[in-house]
Amino acid sequence: MTKASFDSPEGLCHVRGVLPAEQLVALQSPPPVPAVSFTLRLGQALHRYGTPAHRLEEQMRLVSQRLGLEARFFSTPTSIFASFGPPEALQTSLIRVEPGEMDLGRLARLDALASAVIRGDLSPEEGAERVESILAEPPRHGSPLLLLCWALAAVGGARLFGGGPREMGVAALISLLIGGLDLWTRRQSSTMWVLEPVAAILSSALAVIAASLVGPLSVQIVTLAGLIVLLPGLSLTVALNELATRNLISGTSRLTGAALVFLELGFGVALGTRLAEWFPLPAKLGPVPALPGWTEPLALASMLFGVSVLFRARPQDWGGIAVTGTLAYVGSRLGSQVLGTQLGAFVGALIVGLVTNLLARLRNRPADITLVPAIMVLVPGSIGFRSMESLLARDVLAGVDTAFSMLMVAVALVAGLLFANALVQPRTVR
């Protein structure tokens, strides 16, 4: 090849193996800044309020596609990687995100905002400003209602675990104290990481003391019900769901986080039980009195209402949450009687997945709004807690057996949700 051919644009393109000059200019042109800014802010907000990795990546992909962007996304529990443009000229952003609390109300508003930008009702610049205003909104509910719902969730959990009036009352008081501790630690960033072990110490110690003072009650049921809001069964189920959808890094990280919370709770319970032994009054343990059957639906309603408020669901969504939660519980109970505990969880998850997908498509709202509170009725957090309790008591066989049961229930829940998504396609942003 002659020197002239090297100097010519055609020869240069041939030797370097690149595109012609006019296509190189097109590749190097950056994507529109407003659309990119809106996509990144939306993804950060969705991540902050509890969207799992597979749903977050899919939603960001759909939004960027509708806005005319070529983009790729990768999410972990603490970060989002976003690349815009063709592979030959990528512009990559890294967003560090602290895992936040579940807020179903803000998720619904963010979903509606994304739909408005996609339809052209709002420009990407206006959409980015609306995201910031949603994030800056004050909490939906005040502290008194949140504390009440901590107690209601514990009352419902105690009854569904088989407890009686004493168990329900003591669990409500313990959960009320833990709820106050939770509100206090949110204002102190240095203390928020010790909530789980301190709550477990309080729950176990106060359960033993209450058994000594107020008469026979089940210490285990009271301890479990007092900690029901903190049990990481939902995190465990989300982690296995991410692993099943091949989001391996995010699923593994979330699974490790759930295991760490179980360990913290187990340590706190063990320490609280030892502290309670300093009291000279013997624990008056005895059989739990049976309650009438009509108290069970009341307990379920109490628990669903408490969880809905604690997850910041909007009042207009409470009816849908009640329907899906009831169907999940009834389906799980009937399935357990016919097929066993693990397959019973599969039936409950399949029913709730089908119903939530149908409601999401009919009402044009995210499925998580009704799915998350309903899944809380089915999650295996209490089983995992009992496993850690057995292991700490050096009953290794019982601990391993219970841990295996917990994993099987979690896998059954994930399988039910995956089957439901295959039968009824999940709603997409439009």
81: helix, strand or coil: strand
What's the pLDDT at 176? Answer: 93
DSSP 395: -
Place of tokens 């599969």: 346
Q: Are 41 and 114 in contact (CB under 8 A)?
A: no
With contact defined as beta carbons under 8 Å apart, do 107 and 47 qualify?
no
Cα dihedral 389, 393, 396, 402, rounded to 10, equals: -20
Enumerate the β-bridge partners of residue 72. 83
Return the axis-axis angle of helices 295-310 and 318-339, rounded to nearest 10°. 130
Q: Which residue has the higher pLDDT, 22 or 242?
A: 242
**Strand 91-96 with 71-76, pairing:** unpaired
Residue 396 pLDDT greater than 60, yes or no:
no
Q: Residue 283: pLDDT above 70?
A: no
Task: Return the structure tokens found at 281.
Answer: 């009054």
The 8-class DSSP code of residue 427 comes to P
Under 8 Å between Cβ of 204 and 267: no
CA 279 to chain centroid, in Å, comes to 38
Give residue 148's pLDDT: 94
| Confidence tier at 287 by pLDDT (50, 70, 90) | low
Question: Which two structure tokens, joined as six digits, stand for 346?
Answer: 């599969």
Q: Please, are residues 229 and 150 in contact by the beta-carbon 8 Å criterion?
A: yes
Residue 394 in this model has a pLDDT that exceeds 60: no
Secondary structure (DSSP) of 251-320: HHHHHHHHHHHHHHHHHHHHHHHHHHTTS-SPP---PPPPPPTTHHHHHHHHHHHHHHHHTT--GGGHHH
Mean pLDDT value across residues 16-25: 43
How much is the average pLDDT of 37-63?
88
Domain map (residue ranges) of the chain: 33-135, 142-292, 313-430
The confidence score (pLDDT) of residue 285 equals: 57
**181-210: average pLDDT:** 83
By CB neighbour count within 10 A (0-12 exposed, 13-18 middle, 19+ buried), where does 247 fall?
Answer: buried
Give the closest residue to 301 by CA, choosing from 187, 160, 101.
Answer: 160
Asked if 312 and 105 touch (Cβ cutoff 8 Å), the reply is yes
pLDDT for the residue numbered 30: 58
Predicted local confidence at residue 24, as pLDDT: 40
Residue 121 has pLDDT above 80, yes or no: yes
**What angle is formed at CA 370 by the lines to CA 366 and CA 374, rounded to 5 degrees?**
145
Return the biggest CA–CA distance within the chain.
Answer: 100
Q: Is the pLDDT of residue 215 over 50?
A: yes
pLDDT in tens, 190-204: 677 788 888 888 888
Rounded to 5°, the CA angle 197-106-116 comes to: 155
pLDDT value of residue 178:
92
For 364, other C-beta atoms within 10 Å of its C-beta total: 13
Average pLDDT score over residue span 414-430: 82
What pLDDT was estimated at residue 150?
Answer: 94
To 5 degrees, how large is the angle CA 89–CA 95–CA 96? 150
| Residue 400 pLDDT | 63
Inter-CA distances, 112 with 65, 122, 365, 366, 429, Å: 17, 11, 8, 9, 9
> Tell me, what's the pLDDT at 286?
59
pLDDT for 392 beyond 60: no
Rounded distance between C-alpha atoms, residue 416 and residue 347, angstroms: 7
- The set of residues, in sequence order, having a beta carbon less than 8 Å from that of 388 and lying 6+ positions away, is 262, 263, 265, 266, 269, 399
pLDDT for residue 298: 92
Considering only CA atoms, give the Rg of the chain.
25
Q: Tell me the percentage of the chain whose pLDDT exceeds 90.
A: 12
DSSP label at residue 100: -
- The mean per-residue pLDDT over the stretch 161-176 comes to 89
Checking if the pLDDT of 8 tops 60, the result is no
Spatial separation of the C-alpha atoms in residues 147 and 151, rounded to whole Å:
7
Q: What is the pTM of this model?
A: 0.80
Q: What is the pLDDT of residues 332-357, one digit of tens each?
A: 888 777 777 667 788 888 888 899 88
Mean pLDDT of 52-80: 88
